[in-house]
Amino acid sequence: MDDVTLDPIDRGLVHALRIDGRAPFTRIGEALGVSENTVARRYRRLRSSGVLRVAGTVNGARLGHTSWTIRLRCTPDAAGAIAEALAARDDTSFVYLLSGGTEISCNTRTRSADERDALLLERLPRTRRVIGVSAHLLLRSYALPGTWLGPAVLSPEQAALLRPPEPDGDAAADPVVTDLTADRALLGALARDGRATHADLARATGWSESTVRRRTDALRRAGVLTFQVDIEPRRLGFHAEARLWMSVRPSALQTAATAMAAHPEVSFVALTTGPTNLVAAVNCRDTEDLARYLTERVAALDGITALESAPVIRAAKRAGPPLPL
């Protein structure tokens, strides 16, 4: 990955793509006050250098899937290989090596009880180099990576020019009843490149461009298909990533989770099952900033009785396809 420094236009482009990963370059240029050619050139530079990519992702909640956050403790020689194996699965995201490189954190979704049992009760425990597995069901999300406030640089007026239509109905309502078998090629192509042209998607699926456009729009309107910007936080000036696991008094849980979701350092926070009931991902400028966040911002929240933190050493996978380790 090339060593590329992002200037204000690049940062505006990143924020624009976080609002709508498939926004036309003409609209992004209008919001940023630059030409369409400038936006296209900047995007191609960041994409080709490996700094940024847009990934199409499936919102499993709209399909009735369940989401889990998993922690694995491994033997020192095994963590890298196990992280790569987890990252290669199509049901995982945000696969991180933590602490001294002997712990892995990842999110996964399962479509059925059989899938859940196969992964959590059979495959992971049978790997001899995995010496501990802790799996927690994600019950409710309060902040998601796509809504992280840290990279925000555009004004509300600029952001309004880019905001895509809301999904039909309530995204938190009953799951959508749909069969994605026929969409597998389309979703795979969008996972690799969320800004692939309709012509490219037509070649990948064997469909016509009009069919590709119509189906992509339908999946977005249903809240099934979303687009996320995959970029290292350090590219945006955040050099200290960490995962937090907290025990919070049930009476204070809603208030604490809502408060954390509004913190610009927080890119993910969710209510979980298990001995800890709140999990979060934070991105800070440096280790001193992380220390300040933990001792001042988090410590000030009422109801937190225990806190465990682990720094992210390396990402094997974020929202998009696996990353090289």
Is the residue at 281 inside a domain? yes
Instruction: Decide if 226 contacts 146 (C-beta within 8 A).
Output: yes
Last residue of a domain, one of 207, 231, 255: 231
248 closest CA partner among 197, 189, 307: 307
Q: pLDDT for 250-275, tens place per residue?
A: 999 999 999 999 999 999 999 999 99
**Total domains in the fold of the chain:** 3
Phi/psi of residue 241, nearest 5 degrees:
-100, 145
Residues 165 and 179 in one domain: yes
Residues 69 and 129 in one domain: yes
CATH number, domain of 125, equals 3.30.70.920
Residues 36 and 160 in one domain: yes
Is the residue at 294 inside a domain? yes
Residues 269 and 284 in one domain: yes
Q: Give the whole-number percent of the chain exceeding pLDDT 70.
A: 92
Q: What rounded mean pLDDT belongs to the chain?
A: 90
Instruction: Decide if 194 contacts 22 (C-beta within 8 A).
Output: yes
Average pLDDT over residues 170-186: 71
Please give the residue range of the domain that contains residue 23.
8-55+153-231
Last residue of a domain, one of 186, 215, 231: 231
Q: pLDDT for 64-109, tens place per residue?
A: 889 999 999 998 888 888 899 889 888 889 999 998 888 999 999 8
Is the residue at 2 inside a domain? no
The residue among 65 and 4 whose pLDDT is bigger is 65
Identify any residues that bridge with 231 across adjacent strands, giving them in sequence order: 52
Is the residue at 71 inside a domain? yes
User: Tokens for 177?
Assistant: 């009843």
> At 35, which amino acid appears?
S
List, in order, residues 6 or more apart from 185 with CB less than 8 Å away. 204, 205, 206
